[in-house]
Amino acid sequence: MALIESHKAKACKPESNKAKIAKRVIEVLEFFDEEHPQATVMDIVRRFDRPQSSTSELLSSLVDLGLLHKDPGSRSYSPTPRAALLGASIQPKLVRDGVLTGLIDRLSAQTGLGIAVFGMVGLNVQIVNWRAGKRVFRTAGSGGLAGGQQERLSDSVAGLLMLSTVAQPRRDGLIRRLNAEAAPERKFNFPEVAARVQRCRDEGYITGFAGFGSIADVTAMLLPHMPDGQPLAIGFVYEPSEQIDAAGLQRTLHETVRRSVEEQSPAASVQPIFEAASWQGALEVKHG
């Protein structure tokens, strides 16, 4: 009995102060996007419903760390290159070389639809990056879609796409676990979901419900050359409509991703400067 009570206490344990701070740092950095290149203290306060005093202190700390720049005139904040480059050198080429950003730009310009990049965090699918389309679609929540949001893998077709990257028999084990842990209204037919995930593995793309509290659909495909266990997918997010040609969107995704990957130019061969200097010196001696 004491063990059960101890387990309940741990499960209900409030979020630690350090965890809250870490979460708020990420929230601040994810606030900035094409629509919000700068932010004031009050912009952050209103978005995340945080106290003004602690928010101001947090932003000042991020300025001291070189992650944010504060404009002395407008008193607004914006991310620094250091924030953008954190961890960039060890990312896959699509991310490190800016190809993914260019791909998002290209798909957005081609269609005007919302573009989402999805990743996997444990048993959740996460919106790694969100680019809003020209048309705002209705959502169940007030905030709309945003980077950082998470949904159970079985509650979004993007999650099924993530599951397709897991090898058997672990994949079926994860699907069974998701079903066992799902709320009664979220239970699903295991054979049907397992078969759909297998189709994702065979085809590399999927169309269906987007999830994340929205009424939207998504057409997404896996991105190539991702590290094992760290899949990424990119997709169009749109309000269901008879005017949407999902098969056409799949072709657009496939062709644009293919072209973006092919256009990656190999790194130029660079001779170390000290070797070059030594070689030049030797050449001068030889011909002196």
Q: What ranges do the domains of the chain cover? A: 2-85, 88-262
- Is residue 125 classed as helix, strand or coil in its secondary structure? strand
User: 3-state SS of the chain: helix, strand, coil percent to 5?
Assistant: 50, 15, 35
Q: State pLDDT tens for residues 55-113.
A: 999 999 999 999 999 998 999 999 998 988 888 888 888 888 889 999 999 999 999 99
pLDDT (0 to 100) of residue 15: 65
> What pLDDT band is residue 277 in, cutting at 50, 70 and 90?
low
pLDDT (0 to 100) of residue 141: 54
pLDDT (0 to 100) of residue 222: 96
> What pLDDT band is residue 20 in, cutting at 50, 70 and 90?
confident
| 31 pLDDT more than 70 | yes
Q: Evaluate the omega torsion of the peptide bond into residue 169 and state whether it is cis, within 30 degrees of 0.
A: yes
- In CATH terms, the fold of domain 88-262 is Beta-Lactamase (3.30.450)
Across 2-6, 67-71, 115-119, least confident range: 2-6
| 283 pLDDT more than 80 | no
**Neighbouring-strand partners of residue 115:** 131, 236
Q: State pLDDT tens for residues 184-229.
A: 999 999 999 999 999 999 999 999 999 998 889 999 999 999 998 8
CATH class of the domain whose range is 2-85: mainly alpha
| Mean of the per-residue pLDDT values of the chain | 86
DSSP state of 88: G
Q: State pLDDT tens for residues 139-172.
A: 655 567 888 899 999 999 999 999 999 999 999 9
Chain position carrying tokens 């960039």: 88
pLDDT (0 to 100) of residue 35: 80
Residues 176/188, Cβ–Cβ less than 8 Å: no
Count CB atoms within 10 A of the CB of residue 104: 19
pLDDT (0 to 100) of residue 2: 43
Percent of the chain with pLDDT over 70: 83
pLDDT (0 to 100) of residue 92: 87
> What pLDDT band is residue 280 in, cutting at 50, 70 and 90?
low
